[in-house]
Every structure is written in C-alpha cells, then in structure tokens.
Chains A and B, each alone.
Chain A
Amino acid sequence: MKNQALRERLDSLWSFVRQLATDDAYERYLVHHRSLHPKEPPLDRRAFYEREQQHKWSGVKRCC
C-alpha cells in the first residue's frame, strides 16, 4: 500500500518534469488534435517538433 503511494508520487513528479521540459508536447498535441479535429490526420512527431520550434522562436523568448 505504501509502495503504491510512493509510486504515484514518483509518477506525478516524472510527468511534472516531462511537462516542464516540454518532453510530452507531442502526446498533448495528439490528445488535443483528436478531440478538436478528429477527421484530420495529425502531424507526425518530426513535423510537429519542427513546427513548434519555428513557432516558439519567433518572439521574445530569452532575456538578458
């Protein structure tokens, strides 16, 4: 029982770290895409990554 609680804690910490690092961006995109545009095929991992990087770096993202 105790192990399970610890495991859940670790799992939620791991998913927090993944989200912070945007490691899980593609999985989030898929969930979002399927719910909003179920008929269109989603981008593949690589196309999605390229699109997001291009988008991210077109504004002020880093300071002094």
Chain B
Amino acid sequence: MKKLLWFLVALIAAGAVAGIALQRGESINALWIVVAAVCIYALGYRFYSAWITARVLSVDATRATPALRLNDGRDFVPTHRWIVFGHHFAAIAGPGPLIGPTLAAQFGYLPGTLWILVGAVFGGCVQDMTILFLSTRRNGRSLGQMARDELGPVGGYAAILATLMIMIILIAVLGLVVVNAMKNSPWATSTVFATIPIAVLIGLYLRNIRPGRVLEGSLIGITLLLLAVAGGGFVSEHPVLSAMFNMGGKSLAWFVIIYGFVAAVLPVWLLLAPRDYLSTFLKLGTVVLLAFAVVLMHPQLKMPALTQFIDGTGPVFGGALFPFVFITIACGAISGFHALVSSGTTPKLIQQESDVRLIGYGSMMLESGVAIMAMIAATLLDPGVYFAINSGPGVVGATLDAAVTTISGWGFPVTAAQMQSLAQQMGETSLLARTGGAPSLAVGMANIFATAFGQGLLAIWYHFAIMFEAVFILTTLDAGTRVGRFMLQDFLGHVWKPMGQTSWYPSVLISSALVVAGWGYFLYIGVVDPNGGINILWPLFGITNQLLAGIALCVATGILIKQGKLRYSWVTAVPLAWLAIVTTTATWEKVVSPDVRVGFLAGADKLAANLAAGTLSPELAAVAPQLIFNQRLDAALAMLLTAMLWVVIADTARVTWRVVKGKPVLPSSEAVAVPGNASTAEVHG
C-alpha cells in the first residue's frame, strides 16, 4: 500500500516536471511548479536521504551525541529535533534564495526551477546533512577545523580564507541590493531608516524593561514595523519629509557603510539581537503567507520557459545559461555558507544522530522551497515589466522611453504608460532600473498578496516586501561584519597579541573598520557602476559561495574515503565535480571573455580605451579609473578563489591516493563511540 502511494507521488512528480518542461507557447500555471517541487522534495527526503543516512553515513541512533555526552546546559544541550530544525532553518535562511532566482529568471522560468530542485535534492541538502553529521561525530567542530584535522593544513587555511572572502563579497552585494531598493524612494528609505530606532527600542525592552521576553518584544516590534511601513506612505506624500528622504545611491551607500560600522561595534543586545528576532519572525510569517497566497491564487506565469538570453546577452547580468544559472542561484540549490552553520552550533544541540536527516536535509529542502517561491514571484510579472525593473541603464538606456523601446524590441512588449502607472500603484515615482532583485520581487509579492488579500493595498504590500527584505539584509550585514571582525582579530592576534583580544576596544574599532572598508569598497564601486554593479558583484558572490561548498564537499568526500567508503563517495564527489566544473568555467569566462559585460578584463580594457579617447561622459570619466582598477581586481580575485578550490581538490585527491595505496593518512578526528540515547538522559523540550 505504502509502495503504491510513493509510486503515485513519483508519477505526479514526473508528470508535473514534464508539464513544466514541455509546455510551449501558452503560459503555465504556478501550481505545476509547486506540485513538482513538493513531490520531488518528498521523494528526495523519503528515499535519497534515508539511503544516505543508512548506507553512506552509517548513522547510529544508539550512539550518544555530543549534546548528551557533554551536556553543559549552554552550548551542548540535547534538544528536541523540531526545535533544532527551527533554529537551524532560521540560521540558514537569508535573503540569498530570494535574490538569486529573481535574477536568474531572465533565462525563463525553466532553467532556474530545475536547478533549484535538482541542486537541492542532490547537492545542497546532501552537503548540509553530511557536514552536520560529520561535525556531530566530532563534537561540533567547525568546517575549518575539520578540514585541518582530516585533510591537512592546506584545506584548513583555504576554508578560513574562503569564509572571510565570502563575508566581504556577500555583505557588499547585499548592501547594494538595499541601496538600489531605497534609491530615490522616500517611502522605502524612511521605512528602512525607521527599522533602526525600532530595533534599538526592542533591544532596550528585552534587556531593561522585560529582560528576555522575546515573544512579547518581537510582537511589539513587528507592530511598530508595520506602522513604519504605513508611516512611510505619509512621508512620501509630505513635501518636506519626502525631499529629506529622497536620497541618491552614493549617500545611501555611505549610510549603509556607516551603519555597518556602528552596528559592529555596538553591544549586540542593543541592535543586532533585537533586529534578528524581528527579521526571523518576519521572514517566517512572510514565507508562510507567500506560500499560502501562491497556492490560493495559483497565478499564471507570464515569463516564457526559456528566453533568448540563454545565449549570454541578458540585460540583468551578462553570461550564458551555462555556467551562469548555476552561479547566480547558489542559495536555494547549494550554498557553501550553510556548511558554516551545519558545523559549529547546530551539532551541539542534536540529541540523536538520526535527527540529522530532518535537520540537515529537511531545512535545506524548505530553503529551496523559498527559492521556488521567489522564482514564481519573479516570473508571474509581465516579462517586459520584469526586464524594465531589473536592467541597468547602461544596457537598456537611461530614460524610460529608451528603456521600453529597447525591451519591447526584444519581444517583451512594455509601454512607458504601463511602467508609470505601475510605479504609481506601488507608491513610487519610478521602478525603472531598480536592479538587485528586491524591487521586482516586491512587485511580484505585492501582486500576489494584493490579489489574495485586497487589491487596494498594492503600495503598502510593495513597501512591506521591501522592508521585509531590508530588515534581514541588514541583519546579515550586521552579523557578517561581526564574524569577519572576529576572524580578523584572531588573525591579527597572531601578529600582535593585544589585537587578538575580542573585547579590547582599540582592536574592536580597528578590525571592524578594516572589515567594513573591505565590503564598503565593493559596495561603493557597485553603486557608481553604470551597469548596475549587481552584474559584477553577484557572480563574484556566487563563485565564492560555490567555492565554500566545494571545500565542504572535499572535506566530506575525504572523510568518506578515509573511512573506507570509496564506493559511496560519489554522493558528495559528484556534486563536488559539478561545482568544480561550474565555478571554473564561470571564472574562466569572467576573466577572459571578450564580451565586456561578462569578462572583467575586457570590460576594463574597453573603459580604458574610451577614457583615453575622451568619449566618456564627464561623470563617468571621473569614476572610470576606479571602475577599471576594480574590474582588474575582480579578475584577480576570481582566479585566486578558483585556484584555492583546485588546491583543496588536489589535497583531497592526495589523501584519496594515499588511502587507496594503503599509505598512512591523518587519523580520524571522530569522537570515541559511547552508547546512549535520549531516553536515558534529560532532554529539553
């Protein structure tokens, strides 16, 4: 009977995927994608994850986890699996899976959707679960420590360097997304500004007035945030206030940079912690609401399955379908960043080894589901509108008339009147060239919400979506800067001892300033870049994230082989090989492509030639030297990252070769097995 049921699920999955893939000519309903996703996740979880835990990892439910053995009531606490699931999901869920699919929608809905589903089931979920399990077996060691213990110092240093790099690039690109969403929008800017005093107020409430009452504090905070969204509408109507909050990209970039520095040196309880509580509740609420609305409304997708931009000429970012769809959608399919959370905190809470399936594989499935939702929200827009919002002025033209003519010429009809009335409905003066994905996602979400829950509130829904994205982007920015600071302090401490003291104020100020300067530089250049900056920064972020995933998969593959499981090592080695191919091809193209929108060096050379010939506008000529230098720096950076991945792969191959030849390798760092299970110990929850 059960077999029959699963056979049916498989049949529905196959039918839905075939329906999505073979649909041509007319629009397709979003429900097809939802059904395909749910069935594929169910099959992946029921069969593939069960097989991996049983055969490949040899998960042993009777073996005591570190939480049981080392229970200290603080770090190591055996916790009910659904509670750990919630905490782990909250930790891995960020703005990434909302942005990547939105950008990748320029290829059509099909490539991104398939990669999100296949990448998650065979790549991301497997990585997250395997690293979680391996770290649990090693008393919750971090990815960097495991790389050093199991492969050697090369892997260890690569993991640490990659982590620092990803913080810098990630924060820069996220900062750019927020800046583009707030640019010349008094409503969005005033609402996002208002989130700061609201977070501080809740911080004071949670520390001084009602210490630790998280639910109360968050409820008050979210009410205030909703009022701030409505208040932003008032600001945008008010002549004096709206002029005050009507800020250009450069001023906003400075605002984000100064904010990032201040947030990194303030005590965590004042800004970071309360903001995080608010953003977590907001994200959970919005995702549930969005899923509910998508199923309820099951809109038609207006974007074709494939667009002509798979050839690499796309206006949102330059580069062909292969390899760039796999770089653009990192989070949602496979994200190396998750390996940092899966090693370290979460393993210390697991009360039974078999819980890694739900927590590791399951959380990533849900995260992938969020990416699917973002893909639906992007592709239900009129393609013409989607391209008008997401294309930089350097590609489609700086004026509304020029942009709609270019975009309509591609076969995606859109009119100036249509864009103006849409902007007006959303309470904005213009939605043209709001690159970065957040505004177009907000328009998509506003459309879904407004159809489901009331048409009159489009502008409110739009700014709610912008606020919701900004709040957790700023949380990531805040938390990432702090982690970068700790890593830098640790490193500088080796050079000069006092710098290593994490609470010594001069060290805090200097290291925070260095980290902020690192991402602030990329953010600022991104803002002045006429191609929109996202075109450069997002692929760089994707490459870094996939590099980190590559290192995590190397560690996992190396450990499997050392345990004598060579014949099962394809489980992590195949995703690793795929990522190596994708990142290497992408880096190659980003460096040597003659297309100025793809190749960093070609872009730099063309700008240098134009500068020398004097054909640039005065504003562009003023920043051209910086842009030229930056593109060359980006090329060097991309090569460095990919070289690091290959060094770690070579190191893993060395370990594999020694194992196969029977030569000695580093001993396993696995903790000694002690029998025990949750029923014999005190369990929280």
> Interface on A for B, CB 8 Å cutoff?
16-23, 25-26, 28-29, 32-33, 36, 44-46, 48-50, 53-64
Q: Show 6 A/B contacts (Cβ-Cβ < 8 Å), sorted by A.
A: A22-B214, A26-B212, A53-B269, A62-B475, A64-B174, A64-B541
Task: Find the A residue at minimum CB distance from B167.
Answer: A60
Interface residues of A, dominant DSSP: helix
Q: Which residue of B lies closest to A17 (CB)?
A: B215
State how many angstroms separate the Cβ of A26 from the closest Cβ of chain B. Answer: 5
A23 to B86, CA, bound (A): 14
By a CB distance below 8 angstroms, the chain A residues around B341 are 60-61, 63
Residues of A within 8 A of B94 (CB): 62-64
* Chain B neighbourhood of A61, CB < 8 A: 91, 276, 341, 345, 479
Q: CB distance A23 to B684 under 8 Å? A: no
Chain B window 201-240, contacts with chain A (Cβ cutoff 8 Å), 1 for yes, 0 for no: 0000011100111110010000000000000000000000
Which residues of chain B are within 8 angstroms of A18 by Cβ–Cβ distance?
A: 215
B83 touches which one: A19, A26, A49, A63 (CB < 8 A)? A19
In the A-B complex, the 5 residue pairs with the smallest Cβ-Cβ separation, listed nearest first, are: A32-B73, A64-B96, A45-B211, A62-B479, A46-B211
Q: Which of A16, A57, A60 has the most CB of B within 10 A?
A: A60
Task: Tell me, rounded to whole Å, the shortest Cβ–Cβ distance linking B364 to chain A.
Answer: 11
Q: Are A53 and B476 in contact (CB under 8 A)?
A: no
B284 to A: closest C-beta gap in Å:
10
Say yes or no: is B122 at the interface (Cβ < 8 Å to chain A): no
Q: Are B269 and A50 in contact, CB atoms less than 8 angstroms apart?
A: yes
Bound Cα distance from A30 to B74, whole angstroms: 12
> Given A53-B269, A59-B483, A60-B345, 6 other A-B contacts at CB below 8 A?
A17-B215, A49-B269, A53-B273, A60-B163, A62-B91, A64-B545
* Cα–Cα distance between A57 and B96 once the two chains are bound (Å): 20
Tell me, in angstroms, the Cα distance from A22 to B331 when the chains sit together.
Answer: 26
A26→B269 CA distance, assembly (Å) = 16
- A53 contact set on B, CB distance < 8 A: 268-269, 273
Q: Contact: B95 with A55, CB < 8 Å?
A: no
Interface of chain B residues 473 through 509 with chain A (CB within 8 A) = 475-476, 479-480, 482-483, 486, 502
Instruction: Find out whether the CB atom of A21 lies under 8 angstroms from the CB atom of B215.
Output: yes
Q: Which of A16, A23, A44, A64 contacts B476 (CB 8 A)?
A: A64
* Contact (A49, B502) CB under 8 Å given A58-B486, A63-B337, A64-B331: no
B82 at the A interface (CB under 8 A):
yes
Query: Contact at B86–A20, with CB atoms within 8 Å?
Result: yes
Q: Which residue of A lies closest to B473 (CB)?
A: A64
Which residues from chain B contact A58 at a C-beta distance below 8 Å? Answer: 482, 486, 502
| In the complex, chain B residues 76-100 whose Cβ is within 8 Å of any chain A Cβ | 80, 82-83, 86-87, 91-96
Residues of A within 8 A of B337 (CB): 63-64
Complex alpha-carbon distance, A61 and B86, angstroms: 13
A53–B479 alpha-carbon span in the complex (Å): 12
CB-CB contacts below 8 Å: B106-148 with A: none
For residue A22, which residue of chain B has the nearest CB?
Answer: B214
Contact yes or no, A16 B685, CB < 8 A: yes
B468 to chain A, nearest CB (A): 15
Interface size, B (range): 35 or more
Q: Of B82, B163, B215, which is within 8 A of A23 by CB?
A: B215
Closest residue of chain A to B685 (Cβ to Cβ) is A19
Which of A20, A23, A45, A49 neighbours the largest number of chain B CB atoms within 10 Å of its CB? Answer: A20
Given known contacts A18-B215, A58-B486, A59-B345, is B82 in contact with A49 (CB within 8 Å)? no
Q: CA of A62 to CA of B480 in the docked complex: distance in angstroms?
A: 8
Residues of B close to A63: CB separation below 8 A: 91-94, 96, 331, 335, 337-338, 340-341, 476
Q: Does B272 contact A (CB under 8 A)?
A: yes
Q: Is the CB of A49 within 8 A of B340?
A: no
Q: What is the bound-complex CA distance between A53 and B214, given in angstroms?
A: 12
Residue B170 interfacial (CB < 8 Å): yes
Say yes or no for B520: interface residue by CB 8 A criterion. Answer: no
Q: Find chain A residues with CB under 8 A from B330 CB.
A: 64
Q: Which of B73, B211, B218, B475 contacts A21 (CB 8 A)?
A: B218
Q: Which residues of A contact B276 (CB under 8 A)?
A: 61-62
Give the Cβ gap from A28 to chain B, nearest Cβ, in Å.
Answer: 6
Chain B min CB distance to A51 (Å): 9
Given contacts A49-B206, A59-B344, contact A64 B95 (CB under 8 A): yes
Q: Of the candidates A21, A54, A62, which one forms a contact with B214 in the assembled complex, judged by CB atoms under 8 Å apart?
A: A21
A64 touches B335 (CB 8 A): yes
Task: Tell me, in angstroms, the Cα distance from A28 to B335 when the chains sit together.
Answer: 34
A29 to B214, CA, bound (A): 15
Q: Is the CB of A64 within 8 A of B269?
A: no
CA distance A46 to B210 in the complex (A): 8
Q: How distant is the Cα of A58 from the Cα of B86 in the complex, in angstroms? A: 20
Question: What are the residues of chain B within 8 A of A56 when measuring CB–CB?
Answer: 268, 273
The chain A residue with its CB closest to the CB of B340 is: A60
Beta-carbon contact of A20 and B502 below 8 Å: no
**A54 touching B212, Cβ below 8 Å:** no
Q: How far is the CA of A59 from the CA of B80 in the complex (A)?
A: 22
On whether A16 and B73 interact (CB within 8 A), knowing A59-B483, A62-B94, the answer reads no
B482 / chain A contacts, CB cutoff of 8 Å: 57-58
A19–B233 alpha-carbon span in the complex (Å): 36
In whole angstroms, how far apart are the Cα atoms of A1 and B272 in the complex?
46
Interface string of B327-349 (1 = CB under 8 A from A): 00011000101101100110000
Is the pair B211, A23 in contact by a Cβ cutoff of 8 Å?
no
Write the nearest CB–CB distance from B547 to chain A, whole angstroms. Answer: 13
